[in-house]
Structure 1
Amino acid sequence: MGEAAAQEKPGWRKVLAALRHRKTGYMLLFGFAAGLPYALLLGTLYAWLSDAEVDLETMGVFSLIGLSYAFKFLWSPALDRVDIPGLKLLGKRKQWMVTAQLLLGAILVILSMLDPVSQLGWFSLLAGIGAFASATQDVVIDAWRVDVADETATIDILSTVYQMGYRIAALVGGALALFLAERTSWPTVYLIMGAILLFVGFLGLFAPDTNAKDLKDAQDAKGEDPYGLREAGQVNPRTRMIALIGVGALWGWALITVGVFMVRSLANDPDARPDSVAFISTMGPLVVVATVVIPALIAAWIVQQEKRGTNLLNAPKPAASSLERAGDHLYRALVLPLVEFVGRMGWSLVLILALVLTYRITDAVWGTFAYPFYLGELNYSKDEVAIASKFFGVGAVVFGLALGGYLLTVLGRMMTLTLGALLAALTNLLYADLAIGGFRMAAVSDFIGFTWAVEQFGGDQRLAKLMVTIGAENLAVGIAGAAFVAWLSSIVARGYSAVQYALLSSLTMLVGTLGRGALGKMIEEQSYYDVFILTTLIGFVAVALCLIEWVRVARLGKDSGMDEVALKNA
């Protein structure tokens, strides 16, 4: 017992073994590939448009391409089941990742050849396609991480390394891009970044993956119904068709609604563009209900049919037509991932969704108002904010991710998840102190000697207390982020990971988007101090939910819905 425990005891050896693994290296590369286009298309691009003197209204329209990331789950079922002709032998996930990376690289190169003023139409079209390809790549990379994780390259380490790559890409696509643009030109910057992504796509060809050929051979060996949907004891086709029509109609409505909104928003006539704030505040909740809440209830209905033994096939019933086979395929792509998730989690799904909705909401909601707070409320200069937030802050996040990855290995996933939630909540109190003068943060900075260090480089106590605050928050964000992505990855099922993970991660982003309007109004009517107290309290709700989830996993073990590999580090 003692020897076995010693061998299983987590620590630096286990971390180092995981970091030397080939999959870990590719995870860092893919994290970088995911973060770079996001930084370039939803951040740095506006600096280029500003230099080109494009009007603010048009830039506001450009920001709507970010909806591709919020609603990426709408086309995730296709990524789980559809193969790209001629490329499926690359691998189930890799065929989509490499294609997206090469397409993104080509788009950035083409953008470098366009004038954002005289060729604005083409510019916006390519940026929109790029955002769609980038969001698609995110879905597949998340699924790849779940699919290839093993006992050496664990889901915890892969999740942490992915985020480190993502953060490094944000620095390259943000601060470094601005630095290069100041010394060269924007077309040169986007040409360089496009070449980097093309090179990443080439390297991705050699990454490990779930082999599509092996999957196809296994399906051929099982016949026309490889998933057993038409075997005795399965839900009958008529009941499945009702579920498919219901979920398909709801997801189709959401996809069309969002698509029409984005097309109208990119119209040349400003008067024809819809109100984006009104759309998000009114239609956003409806999209969530239509794509998550009601489909989950439909999936629960299917699960109940199976448990009660009603509406089941008494004997095998092979598909009699191509239409029935197409219906089976759509059911496997769209409904079965939801049925699997609801069936595996049961009533625990309510707890899981509550935790997903609250865990990152504090930084997701408040992050939009960070620059107005630094520049407007506290009157810091742009240079001071860049130093504190972009350079020192990113370094703190990366260090937090590394620390979070180690804590996941040493303390376990649930303890690290809870610790991350607690730290993320408490760091809002640091900003509350800044909002009323920052005297406590200044005293902390003086006490630890950080003020003296900043003064040696030409700074002062005022800059030092901002850097300490941002550094502490980003350290907590890194730990919480590493734990949260690892936990999310552990509760989705291999084979359905694209749809399930995309749904959960999109919920996190959507809730932050929906809450910003109310938070902005609260800032105007009350103060930043009150907002930070509120976000702290919201953070404590997430802490409580983490504790409940921790107890659930500990009590249920294998019945908690996690696989054995995930449970070993829970």
Structure 2
Amino acid sequence: MAAAVAEKKKKSSWRALGLALRNRKTGYMLLFGFAAGLPYALVLGTLYAWLSDSGEIDLETMGVFSLIGLAYAFKFLWSPALDRVDVPLLNRLGKRKQWIVTAQLLIGAALVALSMIAPSNDTIGIFSLLAGLAAFASATQDVVIDAWRVDVADEVATIDMLSTVYQMGYRIAALVGGALALFMAERTDWPTVYLSMGALMLVVGFLGLWAPDADAGARETAEDEGDPYGLRKAGQINPRLRAYALGAVGLLWGWALVTVGLFMVRSLSSNPDTRPDSVEFISTMGPMVVIATVVLPSLIAAWLVRQERKGTNLLVEAAPATSAGDRAMDHLYRALILPLTDLIGRLGWAMIIVIALVLTYRITDAIWGSFAYPFYLGELEYTKDEVAVASKFFGVGALLLGLALGGYLLTAIGRMLTLTLGAFFAAATNLLYADLARGGATMEAFSNLTGFTWLVSHLGGDARLAKLMMAIAGENIAVGVAGAAFVAYLSSIVSKGYSAVQYALLSSLTLLVGTLGRGALGQMIEEQGYFDVFILTTAIGMFAVVLCIIEWVRQARLGKASGVVAPEAAAAPAE
């Protein structure tokens, strides 16, 4: 009987997987994932190879591009506008599609324009401006694609499957914008590479016109023009109190925008000596920006939720907006405050668990990633060609395999179990590198036992390369599973109505923590060596495993208390 049930569940999982992969939304998710990963690879990695090949741009001048990474780290700052502002002429496409298509066309145009400019000391200003525009449009696209994924998910194209397919498209684009771009540049030239990539982005933008959209162009309409969001009905927070809360949050977000904006302007200075250090800025001002835009506004939102639940400071009768100022305040309140009150209202004290999980889940690979090449090339003394084969080609294949495995596990065993297993294996695979740091005896023995060493040797490698490839494969498969599960988890806890702001806020925390930990980790490597660092990162990763279990138990109890089946249990279609 148990075997029959297990077999039925297995068939159901494969059936759900097959239906999802044939869905039109899934196809566009793959395309949008590719569109998100391509400009990131081109402007934050490959572009530096072009500048180096030009022979006219020194390393100090390349510091002007430090602002490009900030567009991705602080993209949540302009995410509220993407929920409320329409693009002229394109707004009929839908709330998300109008921005996705606009961003993709801007990225394509910026890349094509870059292909027409030879980088030199005379053109570095316009060159950096175009690269910055591409990065800004790319970060904007990321925000809206994340929201689109949440909005269009349904019982067939589930949020878990869409999240996995997105990650696959993103990783494929990283390979195209990295390895393939370098390959093309070696055989043609850099302008041809960027012209080709820009044309590809323009084609993607054109194809995006036919993508499905959750609202199909429909906008929110108001029964009462004086109260478009139901904020001025009886039982809602008093407008005066809302104005105070909005003013406080507006000042905090305004300070953050000005701080980041001034840094970007200073980074564009023509004098290299006056340009600020981006790493120092993120490590010092980054936490302050997050406190100002996430922590303090969340506390304000929690207080507002408490007022509403206690029944204090509420309207006793409807008070429709009577002026343009009142209506503007309602728009701003919905953009800045409601996403937070919605999140905290739904999660309550569990918001602390969610934030802790977001902060720690990807910290292991996020911190270690910056030191991968120094470890491979410096500590282990592999050649650049060996690292390219092991990391860029074989490693990307292993990562895609991990994403595919993660997608299947999400369907077969559920989101929280996959999330927990992903956290555990992503942390534990750091021990593979700890073994390499001590000579790699275990990796070599395992590679020999499985016949992998024999295969690599017959393809032109040796036993030494085989053990590196084995370690990279183990880590990348684990990271693939963890990445698919984590994106699915984040997508599952945000609301469709506020998905752009909520997802951007949560995902930004992941990026920041990894950046903050790199300085301390680098110092530890200098003082104690790589082996101790890998043991530490494994231990840090286990905190995320504990938090996953706590969150899993919380969700299970919540489902039982409400009599609702857990999302992962409900995802499998009935036979």
TM-score (norm 2): 0.96
What is the correspondence of 1:318-333 to structure 2 with a 5 Å cutoff?
318-333=320-335
1:47 aligns with 49
1:71 aligns with 74
Q: 1:235 to 1:4 in 2, by over 3 A?
A: farther
In the aligned structure 2, how far is the partner of 1:130 from the partner of 1:538? 35
In the aligned structure 2, how far is the partner of 1:544 from the partner of 1:215? 42
In the aligned structure 2, how far is the partner of 1:561 from the partner of 1:75? 38
Residue 458 of structure 1: how far off its partner (Å): 1.2
2:29 corresponds, among 21, 24, 27, to 27
2:118 aligns with 115
Residues 37 and 174 of structure 2 are in contact (CA less than 8 Å); yes or no, is this contact kept in structure 1?
A: yes
Residue 214 of structure 1: how far off its partner (Å): 2.2
In the aligned structure 2, how far is the partner of 1:173 from the partner of 1:560? 47
1:279 and 2:318 are equivalent in the alignment: no
Structure 1 counterpart SS, 2:219 = helix
Residues 89 and 211 of structure 1 are in contact (CA less than 8 Å); yes or no, is this contact kept in structure 2?
A: no
1:181 and 2:161 are equivalent in the alignment: no
Letter in 2 for 1:91: G
Residue 115 of structure 1: how far off its partner (Å): 1.0
1:416 corresponds, among 408, 415, 418, to 418
1:439 aligns with 441
Residue 408 of structure 1: how far off its partner (Å): 0.4
Residue 291 of structure 1: how far off its partner (Å): 1.1
Residue 56 of structure 1: how far off its partner (Å): 1.0
Residue 134 of structure 1: how far off its partner (Å): 0.2
1:81 and 2:106 are equivalent in the alignment: no
285-294 or 231-240, which deviates more: 285-294
1:141 and 2:120 are equivalent in the alignment: no
Q: 1:122 to 1:536 in 2, by over 3 A?
A: same
Q: 1:461 to 1:9 in 2, by over 3 A?
A: closer
Residue 272 of structure 1: how far off its partner (Å): 1.4
2:390 aligns with 388
Residue 212 of structure 1: how far off its partner (Å): 6.0
Letter in 1 for 2:272: P
Structure 1 runs (4+) greater than 6 angstroms displaced: 2-5, 558-564
Deviations 1:451-503 (A, max 9, x none): 00000011101100000000110000000000000000000000100000000
Deviations 1:24-60 (A, max 9, x none): 0000000000000000000100110110121112223
2:202 aligns with 198
Residues 119 and 127 of structure 2 are in contact (CA less than 8 Å); yes or no, is this contact kept in structure 1?
A: yes
Residues 90 and 211 of structure 1 are in contact (CA less than 8 Å); yes or no, is this contact kept in structure 2?
A: no
Residues 226 and 322 of structure 2 are in contact (CA less than 8 Å); yes or no, is this contact kept in structure 1?
A: no
RMSD: 1.9
Residue 248 of structure 1: how far off its partner (Å): 1.0
- Percent identity over paired residues: 73
What is the correspondence of 1:391-406 to structure 2 with a 5 Å cutoff?
391-406=393-408
Residue 7 of structure 1: how far off its partner (Å): 8.5
In the aligned structure 2, how far is the partner of 1:341 from the partner of 1:367? 31
1:305 corresponds, among 304, 307, 326, to 307
117-126 or 28-37, which deviates more: 117-126
Residue 220 of structure 1: how far off its partner (Å): 4.0
Residues 434 and 441 of structure 1 are in contact (CA less than 8 Å); yes or no, is this contact kept in structure 2?
A: yes
1:132 and 2:129 are equivalent in the alignment: no
Q: 1:461 to 1:555 in 2, by over 3 A?
A: same
Letter in 2 for 1:497: S
What is the correspondence of 1:546-561 to structure 2 with a 5 Å cutoff?
546-557=548-559
Q: 1:293 to 1:323 in 2, by over 3 A?
A: same
Letter in 2 for 1:155: I
Residues 411 and 568 of structure 2 are in contact (CA less than 8 Å); yes or no, is this contact kept in structure 1?
A: no
Residue 211 of structure 1: how far off its partner (Å): 2.9
1:477 aligns with 479
Deviations 1:267-310 (A, max 9, x none): 11112112333322211111111111111100000000101100
1:167 aligns with 171
Structure 2 counterpart SS, 1:215 = coil
In the aligned structure 1, how far is the partner of 2:31 from the partner of 2:533? 37
In the aligned structure 1, how far is the partner of 2:498 from the partner of 2:568? 16
Residues 490 and 566 of structure 1 are in contact (CA less than 8 Å); yes or no, is this contact kept in structure 2?
A: no
2:65 corresponds, among 55, 62, 66, to 62
Structure 2 counterpart SS, 1:192 = helix
In the aligned structure 1, how far is the partner of 2:430 from the partner of 2:458? 28
Residue 62 of structure 1: how far off its partner (Å): 1.1
Letter in 2 for 1:153: A
Residues 420 and 548 of structure 2 are in contact (CA less than 8 Å); yes or no, is this contact kept in structure 1?
A: yes
TM-score (norm 1): 0.97
Letter in 2 for 1:461: A
Residue 329 of structure 1: how far off its partner (Å): 0.4
280-289 or 144-153, which deviates more: 280-289
Q: 1:500 to 1:380 in 2, by over 3 A?
A: same
1:351 aligns with 353
In the aligned structure 1, how far is the partner of 2:85 from the partner of 2:565? 25
What is the correspondence of 1:83-98 to structure 2 with a 5 Å cutoff?
83-98=86-101
1:247 aligns with 249
Residue 61 of structure 1: how far off its partner (Å): 2.9
Deviations 1:390-420 (A, max 9, x none): 0000000001000000000000000000000
Deviations 1:58-82 (A, max 9, x none): 2233133111101000000001111
Letter in 1 for 2:491: S
Residues 298 and 340 of structure 2 are in contact (CA less than 8 Å); yes or no, is this contact kept in structure 1?
A: yes
Letter in 2 for 1:297: L
Residues 415 and 568 of structure 2 are in contact (CA less than 8 Å); yes or no, is this contact kept in structure 1?
A: no
In the aligned structure 2, how far is the partner of 1:111 from the partner of 1:527? 42
Q: 1:285 to 1:119 in 2, by over 3 A?
A: same
2:368 aligns with 366
In the aligned structure 1, how far is the partner of 2:10 from the partner of 2:430? 37
Letter in 1 for 2:142: D
In the aligned structure 2, how far is the partner of 1:333 from the partner of 1:285? 23
1:101 and 2:104 are equivalent in the alignment: yes
1:288 and 2:290 are equivalent in the alignment: yes
2:18 aligns with 16
Letter in 2 for 1:499: V
2:530 aligns with 528
| Structure 2 residues without counterparts, runs of 5 or longer | none
In the aligned structure 2, how far is the partner of 1:540 from the partner of 1:487? 18
Residue 215 of structure 1: how far off its partner (Å): 2.2
Letter in 1 for 2:59: L
In the aligned structure 2, how far is the partner of 1:280 from the partner of 1:561? 45
Residue 222 of structure 1: how far off its partner (Å): 4.7
In the aligned structure 2, how far is the partner of 1:233 from the partner of 1:135? 38
Q: 1:370 to 1:422 in 2, by over 3 A?
A: same
| Structure 1 residues without counterparts, runs of 5 or longer | none
In the aligned structure 1, how far is the partner of 2:30 from the partner of 2:224? 36
Q: 1:177 to 1:562 in 2, by over 3 A?
A: farther
